[in-house]
Structure 1
Amino acid sequence: MSFKEQSRNIRLEGTILRAECSKADPSGKWPWHESELRLDRLLGNVSGQLVWLGTNFNHNAKHIYLEGTTLHALLPKSEHVWHPTSVDLNDRIANKDGRLVYADPRLGFYSPRGQPNENEKVEYVPYSGVGNVDDYARRGLDATEAHAVECKRFEAEIVLRALQPFRYTRLPTPTSIRLLKIEDADEPSDFIHASLVVVDLAHSPQYDALSYTWGSPFTTSEPQLDEYYQRTTTILCNNQRLSVKQNLLDALRRLRKGQRSAVQSTENRGRYYKTPLIQAAEDGHGRLVHSLLLQGADITAQDRFGETALHYAAERGHLEVVKTLVQAGSSVFKLDNSRRTPLDCAKQKFRYETIKYLETQVATQKKTKAVPAPKGTYFPTAMRSQSYIWIDALCINQEDNDEKAIQVGMMGRIYKSAKSVVVWLGRERQDVNDTTAEDLFLDTWMLDAAGTSGKLDETTLDALLDDPQRHLSPKAPADLKETVTNWIKKLDEKQMRSWLIGLPFFRRSWFERAWVIQELVMAQEITVLCGQFVFSWDTFVLLSCAVDSCRVLMRAGTNPKGERGENFHTIVYRSAAMSSKTVDPELYEIPAMTLERRRRAYHRQGALSSMSALALSRNYNATDTRDKVFAVLSISAPIRLSTKTGTHSVLPDYVQPARDLFVYVAMSLLQAHGPSILSLIRNPATPRVKGLPSWVPDLTMPIHYQPLGISIESLVSEAGQTTATAIYDAIGNNTLQPAYHVTAESYLVLHGFRWDSVQEIAQPGLSNIGPDTVELFRWGQIISELGGSVAENRAILWRTLISDEAQGKHPAPDLDKSFQNWLKYLCFIEMTGIRDAMANKLISMKNPVDALWPKRSKEQMLETFQVIQPSLATLGITFTKEDVNRWRTLDSFSPEDIQYANWYFGFEGNGRNFAKVIHSKDLSRRIFRTGKNFLGIGPEQTEIGDLIYLLPGTKVPYVFRHVKDGNFRVIGEAYVHGIMHGEAWQNHQMTSERLCIV
């Protein structure tokens, strides 16, 4: 993209950038061409800053000079204030075919602006590598609009700069809110013109509410993308200028009505009077066909020869385009000027697959007397909406903490009173190469057929959430089964396989927002928008269930399309989870399913318990730490604290520090649940909230896994069911009543029984045997001290790793054989050096099987194998002579070899059951051995010398650490094999001790 590496003699003459640019030619040489670009046509001045796609920055600038590729200038910020500023030209100037051009690599277009001849058509920037031709054409549709939007954005900044900044007036009543009205526009690129009005909720105003994310909608660490979404843009509001961030600007533009040109552009006629849809169908650009239909393209349009888009697609044999057009309502009986139907066109060119499909459609439609869709749009492109919309960033004065607290306290009522909640998930693409959303949504409209007006039957949706595979059951409603099955058949095989290691779309920022829980739970109706795509929330949930069912089936070794056998690629994707040292919760349940389950539970059962609501919110992100609490106040039971002066409830307060709020919440939970709330502790190595006592749950730390010592209804297992956690009872028959209090310094004082201390510890997590399997050797050393037989010690190890619970059963069923194979699999990926490829790079590989090629030399592998054999032997895990020969020759195996593939398939399958169980646990925990030779697992921060206590009123042991002045810090809950049901009291004398926890 950049010109720096492909240019020489870069210089600035006035405001003209000149350089010699290289250009490849057929002879293979790289000749140099002199090129120039007028920077005064590309850069403008906004408040003393250089801004791209402006003009005439040099009009009143001085001291303009070039340093490398960085342009420096002194610009007037006001009449008497000059501001030094600079911009790296390499960010937006590119060398395209030997000439300098302006290029936006994220939005995907380049512009001839600034060149000696500016009359050329604006085009997109082709990315490097072999591209998808279909997607290549799709991008061309966006290029001109993206360019126009950026230019208009700069113009708006200049025009609106003369206006006064927006000033909020005080709201007249405690139930008053502001609503935004977005004025209509002729073109999508027009700047936003809006107005804010004040209404009273007591008068039942008609409005929608927006659910979105303030920053980037994409979860990424790419600085350029984050910077793009952090920038602000000026809109016109009540004839004043108001600043909004980029993602909200995108949402406002999408919500705006009356953009006639969007539809008109799809009907612009070209050669032979062809519309863009007809041309895209003729060229076989399926993704572009979808996009045009979503923009309102007329499927009935005919060109000069009377041919529709379907005629051309059939004649050219573009079967997938034909299917899309037929499903979108294009008539299979339409005649062109030569009296030909689309089927006739296919027959004339001998398009056999297309002929077979169209003959079936003709017969079906004649039999059912199907009526084609009316002229216009078939795909849903618009939504029923009110004239006004509530948007927190604009309707609340964010600079007024008092107003903010009152409005936040009303947000539950605001969302509940809205006619509809509009979910804005952001643009389809985070950059020009990103197709993840489109890949998922292109055929989602097909799922609408499973319901009525986008709504599913309540019983059906309940069944799907309980078991996403229910759509395949013989008892499933016929229309549901047929609809989902047809949608699955349209899916790309490679795309489906990649779902086993996660879906990038469901990692968008919106799914991680704490406020989303309240916004969805309170909503009466929900509409989902993602770029040009729009669908009902029920359809979105059905999509999520269908995707989840595909993943469940593939994990179990079944092809969702009903085909026999397993593709080797699928096996590799499935086994990638076994390679992971951590677990992404999204791999186990798609966020939309979790949110819908909580939404339905609230509407049927009422508010969540305060602990469950807080446990749920801590797994989501909030810009303001205090919103971890405030975001769930409307959907939870009141968070109350009884004191000598009465009972007090938590209310939104943006003056109170997060530390004090968290302590208050912890004291409330302590009153309700006793010291078992220590099971909610997940303290990071570096405190996130300054001054937070160790016994107070840090609500900024996620807790995706069920704690061992307390049940949280909002945390669900893979099957959507709450895991019972009352299976342990370490305190046993001890009848001492819990006694505790919190001091004025926020210290927790309680009594407990010291049982033992940590003697040895293995540092990596539960699914990490270390590089070159060195930690596996450490595991063997630790359990060899336990005193039992090798088989007994091995059983203690694997049962401890999974807290002796599997799929709701305790003690866990016998997983010894699977555990042995799981350990061998971990040894295999460490020995061959493929862990990184399997865990981090698989999604980007063209051929996933390439991940299995050994990444280490034969000598390195044999050296590691010398460590593996004795380490596994310590655990009683041995190799047969045949196994030894195979492992010693792994460097010569090829993933393409059928013998290798069969061996790997069996190898992976034999360890899968244990892998599935342990990957439902908290893999950050550490294995330890106590001084009394008991094996356990504790929090990541557990150290040698830490103390293990049993506390009255709790169910599991807890790890504590001595600190200064005889006080203690809580490290967290623990599992210790052999004392989880009161056995600690047998033959052991323990006395109660006073613990002061700081």
Structure 2
Amino acid sequence: MSAPKGQNYKFSPLPSKSSIRLLRILSGPSEQALRCSLEVVDLSDTPEPSYDCLSYTWGNPLYQKILPPQDGREITDERKFRIECDGLIICVAENLLEALSQLSRNGLESTSGPQRWRRQDRIWVDAICIHQEDMEERSSQVAMMERIYRQAQNVVVWLGPDDTLTELGIEVMQRLASVPPEKRELDLPDDLDNPEVYIGLGIPFCTPQDWLALATFLQRTWFSRVWVLQESFAARRIAVFCGTHILNWTDITAASKTLGDTGLGRLLRERVERVTTTVIEETRYVANTLNNLYIFEEIRENAHSLSLETLLQYSRYFGASNKMDHVYAVLGMWERGPRQQTSSDSITPQYTLRVEDVFAKAALVSIREMGDLNLLSLVESAPFRSAEMSSLPSWVPDYTTTPFTEPLRGNPRPAEDEARWNASAGLEWEELGALDLPLLPVRGIQVSTVTHRAATEAEIIDSHQEYTLLALLKHCLDAPSPYADPIDAWWRTLIKDTFQASPIGSREGIVEACRAFATLLTYWVWSLEMRISELGTPLTDTPFHQTLTKAYSHLHSLIVHLSPIDKTQAIPSWSSIRSNIKLGEANVSETFDQDYEHIASSFRLAYMGRRLFVTASGHQGIGPQALEKGDEVWVLGGARVPMVLRRVQEGMYGLVGEAYVHGIMEGEAVGEGKGRKIYLQ
């Protein structure tokens, strides 16, 4: 790797493993060009060296989708801007140049809220203080970054330069930060333009422009950068710069809590949807920023109890220019326990390795740390993996992707006494010895083979294929079944036996959930009728109109067939469905009330990214979207939920994903079996 064009600074080797370079800004506030100097210090010296750390993003720090076209800027991570350092030239990216220039103009004395803050006269900046072209030095310095940030007097966060909405966005953020915790629990109107929202919160009214300015501020790149997890975690004190403004970190987190706790964050996301063109991609960042701010605080509050598995899962919500940093950026926050003291479980930054090997090693160490196989629940179905990670072992999560489905085992994993299921009860997990990666040995019991599968959630939403769910139920009724009541098993499977975020459990819970499920079926019929009506009459027939008409016919005939034999009443009669729809035509909320909201949420959380399937033994389940006929359902020792595996060759399998399988979630499939050893690749 060669230095940028124009850079002639000569880096001398660092004298010890605890040595770092520190940058001193020599230029004054009135100087146009930056002049700096580098000096070497040892972190082990007594007294410790005094310095600050700069936390920033290499690339474009701004969110420009809402800004007026004239405010657009091309800020790249290209190191083409020159600064003078000890009489020579070091090249840096534009955002770093602006950060150092602002610190130079600001001087050493600053005001942050009511507190005065003094910046140290030396600062550690990764792009300058690490010889970026020396891969060995880069790896060793990255390995000690947690210590570098922990020993700093301050972590200076640079969110980027001002834009035309910065001042307004910060003002709105500070309004939300001033809301006391007790007011965040109020039941507010579901409308950002309703004055009652602001009366309830006790803050000035926020206009549509105010909210868009806040969204622009919250979506600055820094909030989604994976290294900031460790940088903010290790900080003694945090000072936040945004252009010419100095902010309190606590204001930013308090504002995020107001948005999250009141539901205003969801309304803000919906507002951004209406003003941006690529809806799914753009609005994801609003949600991610709020989620990431919660993660910052979660990590700081639980500093000494975070497993590597949890930290790696958190890293998936952030971005990294180097994929390996999804692992390396969280290592400094991980406190290794007794099980992780062996050299075989050591993970140190090595940028010469393959990304797949780094991820596999991290997953293996996580499994050993937790002493079970529940990490397999975090593996995403193939359609949701990054295309660049196609050669990743099937049992290793793709840490570069944001999780799409809610893991059945919970996320983060619950305490042992709070776990919902234990499908492998009675089947011991075997401690892993030295392994020949990427193979993972497991012991398990094959339950059955997938014979049929239904539509995915996307297919149901896009082309109304709900009827495939009932078609599989009809198949179960026509074939041998392990269930006393296959219809009861069917609808409970579709919501993973969970209603209003709790196990269905008691008889009263079953009756309540069953009634709500009947409302869901009614809604499916009504929404299909509305869609067909919107597309026109048979005189203006189109292929898609014909597809929906056939779907409606299938749905009608299946309900007519299944309803009379349903003892649970989860499948209402066709006449009952039509009557309820007719009653609600004037006011849809009378038909699709709170029951619908609860059951729709239960179905969505269970089914998103998954699909219904039936096995040769008649078991019903919901499993990964990528499952196919011929895949096998297994219970693996150390995994609380069943897994769908795909045979590659005798004794060798690929992991397709986790599954809920009705009737075997509490060890029923294990019995007296000890299982057999197989390998996941």
Which bin holds the TM-score, normalised by the shorter protein?
Answer: 0.7 to 0.9
Residue 420 of structure 1: how far off its partner (Å):
1.7
Q: Distance in 2 between matches of 1:883 and 1:581?
A: 37
Change beyond 3 A, Cα 1:572–1:167: closer
Report 1:24-35 matches (<5 A).
none
Change over 3 Å in CA distance of 1:384–1:444 after alignment to 2: farther
2:295 corresponds in structure 1 to 594
The equivalent residue for 2:48 is 204
RMSD: 4.8
How far apart, in 1, do the equivalents of 2:600 and 2:285 lie? 15
Q: Deviations over 1:378-399 (max 9, x none)?
A: 9899964222322211211111
Measure, in 1, the Cα distance between the counterparts of 2:199 and 2:247: 16
**Aligned with residue 477 of structure 2, among 777, 784, 787:** 787
* Correspondence for 2:493: 800
Q: Distance in 1 between matches of 2:349 and 2:117?
A: 34
The offset of 1:831, in angstroms, is 6.1
Residues 518, 631 of structure 1: 8 Å contact kept: yes
Alpha-carbon distance, 1:255 to partner? 2.7
Which residue of 2 is the match for residue 536 of structure 1? 248
Q: Per-residue deviation at 1:198?
A: 2.5
Per the alignment, residue 84 of structure 1 pairs with: none
1:828-880 deviation digits (Å, cap 9, x = unpaired): 6666669xxxxxxxxxxxxxxxxxxx974455798646734752673525465
Conserved 8 A contact 2:82-2:89: yes
Identify the residue that residue 664 of structure 1 maps to in structure 2.
361
**Structure 1 residue aligned with 2:191:** none
Change (3 A) 1:707 1:912: same
> Relative to 1, partners in 2 of residues 1:170 and 1:747: Cα closer, same or farther, differing over 3 Å?
same
Q: What letter matches 2:207 in structure 1?
A: D
Matched, 1:771 2:462: yes
Aligned mate of 2:443, from 729, 732, 751: 751
Equivalent residue, structure 2, for 1:492: 207
| Contact kept? 2:466, 2:524, Cα under 8 Å | no
* CA distance in structure 2 between the partners assigned to 1:966 and 1:762 by the alignment: 28
Contact 1:825 1:908 (8 Å CA) reproduced: no
Alpha-carbon deviations, 1:254-281, whole Å to 9, x = none? 333259xxxxxxxxxxxxxxxxxxxxxx
How far apart are the structure 1 equivalents of 2:534 and 2:160?
39
Relative to structure 1, the CA distance from residue 251 to residue 225 in structure 2 (aligned partners, 3 Å threshold; closer, same or farther) is same
Aligned to 1:168, which of 8, 11, 14? 11
1:947 Cα deviation after fit:
0.3
CA deviation digits over 1:657-708, x for unaligned, max 9? 3333333333323333233332232253566446433233333343476533
- Please report the TM-score for the alignment, with normalisation by the length of structure 2: 0.77
Question: How many residues matched?
Answer: 628
Residues 784, 793 of structure 1: 8 Å contact kept: no
The residue identity in structure 2 corresponding to 1:677 is L
CA spacing shift, 1:973–1:735, aligned 2, 3 Å: closer
Name the counterpart of 2:635. Answer: 950
Residue matched to 2:58: 214
User: Are 2:259 and 1:547 equivalent residues in the alignment?
Assistant: yes
Alignment-mate amino acid for residue 398 of structure 1: Q
2:56 and 2:271 map into 1 onto residues whose CA distance is 37
Match of 2:97 in 1: 249
Q: Does 1:730 align with 2:404?
A: no
Indicate the residue corresponding to 2:149 in structure 1.
Answer: 415
Give the aligned residue type for 1:697.
P
Letter in 2 for 1:526: I
Report the equivalent of 1:235: 82
1:537 Cα deviation after fit: 1.0
Aligned pairs (5 A) from 1:302-313 = none
* Compared CA separation, residues 581 and 164, structure 1 to 2 (3 A): closer
The equivalent residue for 1:17 is none
Q: Of 224, 227, 239, which aligns to 1:512?
A: 224
1:692 maps to what in 2? Answer: 392
Larger Rg: 1
Paired with 1:737 and 1:525, the residues of 2 have a C-alpha distance of 44
Please give the per-residue CA displacement for 1:512-560, whole angstroms capped at 9, x wherever unaligned.
22212111111111122333443211111111112223317989xxxx9
Deviation at 1:178, TM superposition (A): 1.9
**Which residue pairs with 1:938 in the alignment?**
623
Q: Which amino acid aligns with 1:408?
A: V
Scaled by the length of structure 1, what TM-score is found?
0.55
Hey, what does 2:648 align to over in structure 1? 963
Counterpart residue number, 2:130 = 396
Aligned-residue offset at 1:709? 4.0
Is 1:707 the equivalent of 2:407?
yes
The match for 1:972 is 657
| Residues 405, 653 of structure 1: 8 Å contact kept | yes
Distance 2:257 2:537 in 1: 45
TM-fit CA distance, 1:916: 3.6
Distance apart, 1:958 and its partner CA: 0.9
SS across alignment from 2:102: helix
1:564-620 CA deviation, whole Å, 9 max, x = no partner?
A: xxxxx999999xxxx999995964953212211221221xxx152222222222332
Letter in 1 for 2:227: W
Any idea what SS the aligned residue of 2:477 has? coil
Alignment partner, residue 679 of structure 2: 996
What SS does the corresponding residue of 1:769 show, helix, strand or coil?
helix
> How far is 1:756 from its partner?
0.7
Residue aligning to 2:20:
177
Alignment of 1:2-151 (within 5 A): none
| Aligned-partner Cα distance in 2 for 1:225–1:791 | 64
SS of 1:256 mapped into structure 2:
helix
Quick one: structure 1 residues 803 and 183, their matched pair in 2 at CA, closer, same or farther if it must change by over 3 Å? farther
Cα deviation 1:28-87 (Å, max 9, x = unaligned): xxxxxxxxxxxxxxxxxxxxxxxxxxxxxxxxxxxxxxxxxxxxxxxxxxxxxxxxxxxx
Q: Percent identity of the aligned residues?
A: 27
SS in 2 for 1:423: strand
Structure 2 partner of 1:21? none
After superposition, the C-alpha distances for 1:382-428 in whole angstroms (9 at most, x for unaligned) are 96422232221121111112211221122111111122212222345
Q: Is the 8 A contact 1:709 1:954 kept in 2?
A: no
Q: Distance in 2 between matches of 1:487 and 1:657?
A: 53
- Rate the CA distance shift 1:723–1:525 in 2: closer, same or farther, 3 A: farther
SS in structure 1 of the partner of residue 360 of structure 2: helix
Establish whether residue 676 from structure 1 lines up as the match of residue 379 from structure 2: no
- Offset at residue 728 of structure 1 (A): 0.7
Return the alpha-carbon distance in structure 2 between the equivalents of residues 581 and 415 of structure 1.
Answer: 33
User: Does structure 1 conserve the Cα–Cα contact (< 8 Å) formed by 2:7 and 2:89?
Assistant: yes
Shift in Å at residue 905 of structure 1? 8.3
| 1:957 to partner: Cα distance | 0.9
Give the whole-Å Cα distance in 1 for the aligned partners of 2:187 and 2:583: 41
Distance 2:675 2:106 in 1: 74
Q: Is the 8 A contact 2:633 2:644 kept in 1?
A: yes
The whole-number CA distance in structure 2 between the counterparts of 1:204 and 1:236 is: 28
8 Å CA contact retained: 1:611, 1:712: no
What letter corresponds to residue 184 of structure 2 in structure 1? Q
Q: SS at 2:502's partner residue?
A: coil
Pick which of 623-632 and 743-752 moved more.
Answer: 743-752
How far off is 1:994 after superposition?
Answer: 3.2
1:597 corresponds to which letter in structure 2? Answer: E
The letter for the 2-side match of 1:914 is I
SS at match of 2:451: strand
> SS of 2:664's equivalent?
coil
Aligned to 1:14: none
- SS of equivalent to 1:655: coil
What is the rounded CA distance, in whole Å, between the counterparts of 2:272 and 2:531 in structure 1? 15
Q: 1:626 to 1:554 in 2, by over 3 A?
A: closer
Cα displacement (A) at 1:781 = 0.7
| CA distance in 1 between partners of 2:407 and 2:660 (Å) | 11
Within a 5 Å distance, the mapping from 1:849-888 to structure 2 comes to 856-857=535-536, 864=548, 867-868=551-552, 871=555, 874=558, 876-877=571-572, 878=574, 881=578
Cα offsets for 1:312-357 (capped at 9, x unmatched): xxxxxxxxxxxxxxxxxxxxxxxxxxxxxxxxxxxxxxxxxxxxxx
